Amino acid sequence: MPARTDNAVVINAPLDLVWDAMIDVERWPTLFSEYASAEVLTRDGNTVRFRLTTHPDEEHGGQVWSWVSERTADPETHTTRAWRVETGVFQYMYIEWSFQAVSEGTRMRWVQSFAMKPDAPVDDAGGEAHINRNTRIQMDIIKGRLEAQTRAAAA
């Protein structure tokens, strides 16, 4: 059965700063702890196709994961829609990000809809648990890094 995750965090930083950082794919290895590299393959307006490669995954015997995704950003609504082109262990993976100015800074929300392939190392429920756990970790790391950047800019 397909799975869906929905996670959000409030970052004490202005919307424009968070948005600009999060749509800059080449910057992701400095924002996310899991990515060793992020390579932009093509750009067409607000659509970018890119390859992500992870650091070795200790949970899976040091496996390095790599895949191609495509994402279209809408700067007017501060939303993005992405999908994996190379699906890897997923039958499909769709990701929606949204960013909203709130009194405390910026609310960043990620919604992921997916189904695992039958031969994946986990089923849909296991994938959902892993993605929820990892998303919260990555959101906290990004929050810390962007809040530190905001404090440094204000100093």
**For residue range 113-154, what is the model confidence (pLDDT) as tens digits?**
999 999 998 999 999 999 999 999 999 999 999 999 999 988
Q: What CATH number does the domain containing 117 carry?
A: 3.30.530.20
Q: Which long-range contacts (CB under 8 A, 24 or more apart) does 83-86 make?
A: 85/49
Between CA 49 and CA 54, with CA 52 as vertex, the angle to 5 degrees is 175
Domains: count for the chain: 1
Q: Are 7 and 135 in contact (CB under 8 A)?
A: yes
Structure tokens at 147: 């809040």
Q: What is the span of the domain harbouring residue 35?
A: 3-154
The answer to whether 66 and 51 are in contact (CB under 8 A) is yes
Task: For the chain of 155 residues, list the mean pLDDT of each consecutive stretch of 10.
Answer: 94 97 97 97 98 89 92 98 96 98 98 96 94 97 97 89
The secondary structure of residue 64, as a DSSP letter, is P
